[in-house]
């Protein structure tokens, strides 16, 4: 089946540092999404990308939809303690049931 490779699996950074994570796939997707999961909660949508090459920001977060439609990256600038959590990328096909395929997640830990 389809798989997404997300890296890195974990990051340990100092508060104020910038963060970058990415996702690659062997399949083409129509939509790329980035989610954040806090402990004990379900994933929450951060950014959705709909066109190849699209660059979208949400506050300190910036994500891009790769030109080949097989990859995406997420950057977080000037990290703060509340950025701690697990970040997931997801690829979505618009046809049919719009199933999401998730990456393995990037666990972000921030040292104050």
Partner 1 sequence: NAGVTQTPKFRVLKTGQSMTLLCAQDMNHEYMYWYRQDPGMGLRLIHYSVGEGTTAKGEVPDGYNVSRLKKQNFLLGLESAAPSQTSVYFCASSYSTRGYGYTFGSGTRLTVV
Binding residues for partner 1, rule: CB under 8 A, are 1, 4, 6, 9, 30-31, 33, 35, 40-45, 48, 50, 88, 90, 92, 94, 96-100, 102-105
Minimal distance in Å, beta carbon 95 to partner 1? 10
Structure tokens at 15: 């508060």
Minimal distance in Å, beta carbon 42 to partner 1? 3
Query: What whole-number distance in Å separates Cα of residue 80 and Cα of residue 64?
Result: 22
Structure tokens at 98: 């719009």
Minimal distance in Å, beta carbon 21 to partner 1? 13
Structure tokens at 108: 């972000």
Query: What whole-number distance in Å separates Cα of residue 73 and Cα of residue 95?
Result: 23
Sequence-ordered list of residues with C-beta below 8 angstroms from that of 50, at least 6 positions apart, any chain: 30, 31, 65
Minimal distance in Å, beta carbon 112 to partner 1? 26
Closer CB to partner 1, 44 or 78, in the complex? 44
| Cβ neighbours, 10 Å, residue 81 | 9
Closer CB to partner 1, 16 or 43, in the complex? 43
Closer CB to partner 1, 33 or 110, in the complex? 33
């Amino acid at each position: 089946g389809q798989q997404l490779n997300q890296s890195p699996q974990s990051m340990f950074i100092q508060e104020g540092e910038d963060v970058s994570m990415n996702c690659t796939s062997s399949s083409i997707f129509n939509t790329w999404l980035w989610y954040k999961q806090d402990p004990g909660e379900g994933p929450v949508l951060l950014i959705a990308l709909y066109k190849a090459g699209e660059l979208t920001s949400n506050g300190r977060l910036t994500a891009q939809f790769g030109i080949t439609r097989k990859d995406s990256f997420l950057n977080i600038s000037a990290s703060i303690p509340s950025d701690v959590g697990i970040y997931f990328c997801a690829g979505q096909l618009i046809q049919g049931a719009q199933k999401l395929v998730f990456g393995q997640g990037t666990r972000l830990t921030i040292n104050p």
